[in-house]
């Protein structure tokens, strides 16, 4: 029983990271039809920004951790908004060019990060509580998982509230459904594009800081490794669906944890098989809309 | 006669490389309803979409004397153009009230007019637009255009697929709207055209083949049959 509890909660923690990356991917695709392969770079840069702050302020205090999370969000949002404004805006409805530009940006930024911070993992320090465990029904659960889960829940609630109660949120929800009709109501939908990129970048930047604590290090490849699973989560959840991304994040991460433990480290294989099954049975994903 | 609110000159439009509107020129009446007619597939909807900048186009489009053909769609709308698209295009996942709020550009939107014209919508303000009947969705689509003080309305087949009783409700709403704003109406239902339109423009093969009185056109059975395929 304790093993099941441990796997469930660690799965939820990993799922929280996947959600922080996938939420932005899903919103960006839903509104703009852009598959953003550079999204992992926002995460990595957020992680490095958080680590830079942490090493200057002393990484063991909660104040530093919270400040690094906020900085990760700000850096992620700023870089994502700049990417949309400078590169993506000129390429709407030009999908091949979008892929080429975002893949190129992802490769270039990894090389840039390696040039600045080196290729080796840099280990992070955190408040001591995060490296301790808490016993739940006999399972000793690492405390950092609770931080991941709490942050992801707050981000989910924040994005839902933003989409539900603000005019930009209304524009984004309508734009996901029918972008040209939004413009036909006199709304400059490009502003919403920038806002969505910034929201996605902020979630990814926060995810970067949290991922560096989950894995214990930050490296230039951090974003790329999480991006693969975030894409899988986005497709399984349904492109454009925030709720779908949340559900799929949990399903994928928990499946991964259980398969790794019970079926000899086959977690990644099981996730890919799940993706194949979903694409065959329900090509639009769990909560995706039919074209 | 006062200056036309909407003038189109030499308008061409393409969809995926195929020309769907060819050298179309006309002027709208400054008041009342101007009907844009023609058989299926002649380019009526494409003409409206080209005026709105929703498809690739060239040529001149002038609203109240100012060229707008190089402007993006949202700017054209902000100049006071209300658009009711074919097939309604309501936002199904938004409520009726959210559909209206999204459309509101003015600081003092015409909510009172909407309440008068479509009381049923007010009762259904919290209902998801996707769960409404076709007629109710058409009311939402019209209400989105009427909630602002526009200078011109472009209305595309508002009675398409509706029950006869609802068709008359829609026609009456348009008649009321046309008292305050000129309407360019694409419509297949000639009974509605007879009821509303003073001027008619007929397209064939993407070109204008008739530009004159709606009454004269529809009063001439042979001409109506020749140009529209129905009498």
Record: contact B91-A181, CB cut-off 8 A: yes
Residue B39 contacts A where some CB pair is shorter than 8 Å: no
Which residue out of B54, B63, B74, B144 would a mutagenesis test of the A interface target, given it has the greatest number of A Cβ atoms within 10 Å? B74
- Residues A144, A77 contacting (CB under 8 angstroms): no
Answer whether residue A209 shows pLDDT above 70. Answer: yes
Residue B29's pLDDT is: 86
Residue A290's pLDDT is: 59
Could you say which of B73, B85, B92 has the minimum Cβ distance to residue A177? Answer: B92
B207 compared with A141, residue with greater pLDDT: A141
Residue A148's pLDDT is: 94
B230 compared with A284, residue with greater pLDDT: A284
Could you say which of B54, B78, B144 has the minimum Cβ distance to residue A180? Answer: B54
Residue B140 contacts A where some CB pair is shorter than 8 Å: no
pLDDT band at A33 (very low <50, low <70, confident <90, very high): confident
Answer whether residue A67 shows pLDDT above 80. Answer: yes
Bridge partners, residue B36, by sequence: B186, B201
- Residues B170, B159 contacting (CB under 8 angstroms): yes
Residue A1's pLDDT is: 78
Record: contact B77-A173, CB cut-off 8 A: no
Q: Where are the domains of chain B?
A: 6-86+153-228
Could you say which of A173, A180, A185 has the minimum Cβ distance to residue B93? Answer: A173
Residue A171's pLDDT is: 94
Distance CA B135, CA B151 (A): 25
Average predicted confidence (pLDDT) for chain A: 93
pLDDT band at B230 (very low <50, low <70, confident <90, very high): confident
| Degrees, nearest 5: CA angle A54-A58-A59 | 55
Record: contact B103-A185, CB cut-off 8 A: yes
What separation in angstroms does the CA of B37 have from each of A46, A101, B13, B43, B188?
58, 45, 17, 9, 7
Query: For residue A288, is it within any domain?
Result: no
Q: Convert the pLDDT of each residue in B100-118 to its tens digit.
A: 999 999 888 888 889 998 9
Record: contact A187-B101, CB cut-off 8 A: no
Query: For residue A162, is it within any domain?
Result: yes
Answer whether residue A291 shows pLDDT above 80. Answer: no
What separation in angstroms does the CA of A122 have from each of A57, A112, A143, A162?
16, 16, 21, 35
pLDDT band at A12 (very low <50, low <70, confident <90, very high): very high
Residue A247 contacts B where some CB pair is shorter than 8 Å: no
Could you say which of B73, B85, B98 has the minimum Cβ distance to residue A170? Answer: B98
Query: For residue A126, is it within any domain?
Result: yes
What's the domain count of chain A? Answer: 1
| Model ipTM value | 0.91
Q: What is the 3-state secondary structure (H, E, C) of A10-33?
A: HHHHHHHHHHHHHHHHHHHHHHHC
Q: Convert the pLDDT of each residue in A230-280 to its tens digit.
A: 999 999 999 888 999 999 999 999 999 999 999 999 999 999 999 999 999
Could you say which of A167, A177, A188 has the minimum Cβ distance to residue B91? Answer: A177
Residue A92's pLDDT is: 80
Q: Convert the pLDDT of each residue in B20-54 to its tens digit.
A: 899 999 999 889 999 999 998 889 999 999 999 99
A178: chain B residues, CB-CB within 8 Å: 89, 91
Residue B57's pLDDT is: 94
Residue A185 contacts B where some CB pair is shorter than 8 Å: yes
Residue B151 contacts A where some CB pair is shorter than 8 Å: no
Residue B178 contacts A where some CB pair is shorter than 8 Å: no
Query: For residue A289, is it within any domain?
Result: no
For residue B72, the distance in angstroms to the closest alpha carbon of chain A comes to 9
A170: chain B residues, CB-CB within 8 Å: 94, 98, 101-102
- Residues A106, A35 contacting (CB under 8 angstroms): no
Could you say which of B74, B91, B144 has the minimum Cβ distance to residue A183? Answer: B74
Phi, psi of A224 (to 5 degrees): -60, -40
Q: Convert the pLDDT of each residue in B152-201 to its tens digit.
A: 999 999 999 898 888 998 999 999 999 999 999 999 999 999 999 999 99
Domain of residue A31: give its range: 2-281
Average pLDDT in the A130-138 region?
Answer: 92
Q: Which residue has the tokens 């068709």?
A: B167
Residue A184 contacts B where some CB pair is shorter than 8 Å: yes
Q: Convert the pLDDT of each residue in A73-95 to its tens digit.
A: 999 999 999 999 999 988 887 88
Could you say which of A167, A173, A187 has the minimum Cβ distance to residue B74? Answer: A187
Is the whole-model pTM more than 0.90?
no
Query: For residue A229, is it within any domain?
Result: yes
Which residue out of B97, B99, B103 would a mutagenesis test of the A interface target, given it has the greatest number of A Cβ atoms within 10 Å? B103
Residue B80 contacts A where some CB pair is shorter than 8 Å: no
Lowest mean per-residue pLDDT among A55-59, A80-84, B80-84, B212-216: A55-59
Answer whether residue A65 shows pLDDT above 70. Answer: yes
A168: chain B residues, CB-CB within 8 Å: none
Record: contact B77-A170, CB cut-off 8 A: no
CATH number assigned to the domain covering B6-86+153-228: 3.40.50.300
For residue A186, the distance in angstroms to the closest alpha carbon of chain B comes to 4
Residue A239's pLDDT is: 87
Residue B231's pLDDT is: 63
CATH code of the domain containing A142: 1.10.3470
For residue B75, the distance in angstroms to the closest alpha carbon of chain A comes to 6
Residue A40's pLDDT is: 96
- Residues A11, A254 contacting (CB under 8 angstroms): yes
Record: contact A173-B83, CB cut-off 8 A: no
For residue A94, the distance in angstroms to the closest alpha carbon of chain B comes to 14
Residue A68's pLDDT is: 96
Of all residues in chain B, the percent with pLDDT exceeding 90 is 74
Residue B106's pLDDT is: 80
Choose among B196, B107, B189, B100: nearest CA to B146: B100
Residue B2's pLDDT is: 58
């Amino acid at each position: 029983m304790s093993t099941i509890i441990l796997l469930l909660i660690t799965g939820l923690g990993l799922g929280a990271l996947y959600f922080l990356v996938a939420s932005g991917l899903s919103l960006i695709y839903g509104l703009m039809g852009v598959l953003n392969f550079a999204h992992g770079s926002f995460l990595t840069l957020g992680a490095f920004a958080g680590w830079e702050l942490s090493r200057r302020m002393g990484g063991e205090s909660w104040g530093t951790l919270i400040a690094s999370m906020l900085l990760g969000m700000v850096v992620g949002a700023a870089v994502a908004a700049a990417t949309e404004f400078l590169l993506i805006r000129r390429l709407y409805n030009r999908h091949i060019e979008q892929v080429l530009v975002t893949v190129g940006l992802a490769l270039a930024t990894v090389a840039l990060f390696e040039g600045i911070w080196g290729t080796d993992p840099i280990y992070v320090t955190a408040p001591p509580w995060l490296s301790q465990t808490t016993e739940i029904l006999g399972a000793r659960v690492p405390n950092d998982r609770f931080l991941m889960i709490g942050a992801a829940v707050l981000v989910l609630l924040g994005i839902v509230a933003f989409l539900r109660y603000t005019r930009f949120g209304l524009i984004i929800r309508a734009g996901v459904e029918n972008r040209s009709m939004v413009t036909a109501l006199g709304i400059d939908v490009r502003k919403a594009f920038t806002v969505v990129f910034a929201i996605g970048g902020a979630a990814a930047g926060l995810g970067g800081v949290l991922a560096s604590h989950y894995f214990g290090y930050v490296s230039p490849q951090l974003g790329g490794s999480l991006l693969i699973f975030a894409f899988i989560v986005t497709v399984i959840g349904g492109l454009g669906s925030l709720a779908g991304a949340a559900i799929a994040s949990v399903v994928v991460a928990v499946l991964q944890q259980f398969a790794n433990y019970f079926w000899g480290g086959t977690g990644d294989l099981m996730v890919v098989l799940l993706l194949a099954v979903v694409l065959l049975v329900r090509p639009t994903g769990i909560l995706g809309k039919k074209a | 006669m006062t200056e036309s609110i909407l003038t189109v000159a030499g308008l061409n439009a393409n969809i995926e490389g195929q020309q769907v509107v060819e050298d179309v020129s006309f002027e709208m009446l400054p008041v009342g309803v101007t009907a844009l007619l023609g058989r299926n597939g002649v380019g009526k909807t494409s003409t409206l979409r080209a005026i709105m900048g929703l498809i690739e186009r060239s040529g001149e489009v002038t609203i109240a004397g100012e060229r707008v053909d190089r402007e993006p769609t949202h700017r054209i709308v902000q100049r006071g153009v209300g658009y009711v698209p074919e097939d309604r295009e309501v936002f199904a996942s938004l409520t009726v009230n959210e559909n209206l709020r999204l459309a509101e550009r003015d600081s003092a939107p015409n909510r009172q007019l909407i309440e008068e014209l479509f009381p049923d919508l007010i009762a259904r303000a919290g209902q998801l637009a996707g769960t409404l009947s076709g007629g109710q969705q058409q009311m939402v689509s019209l209400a989105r255009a009427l909630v602002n003080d526009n200078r011109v309305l472009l209305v595309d087949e508002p009675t398409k697929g509706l029950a006869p009783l609802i068709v008359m409700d829609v026609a009456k709403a348009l008649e009321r709207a046309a008292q305050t704003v000129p309407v360019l109406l694409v419509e297949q239902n000639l009974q509605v055209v007879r009821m509303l339109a003073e001027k008619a423009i007929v397209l064939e093969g993407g070109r204008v083949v008739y530009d004159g009185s709606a009454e004269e056109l529809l009063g001439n059975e042979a001409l109506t049959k020749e140009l529209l395929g129905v009498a």
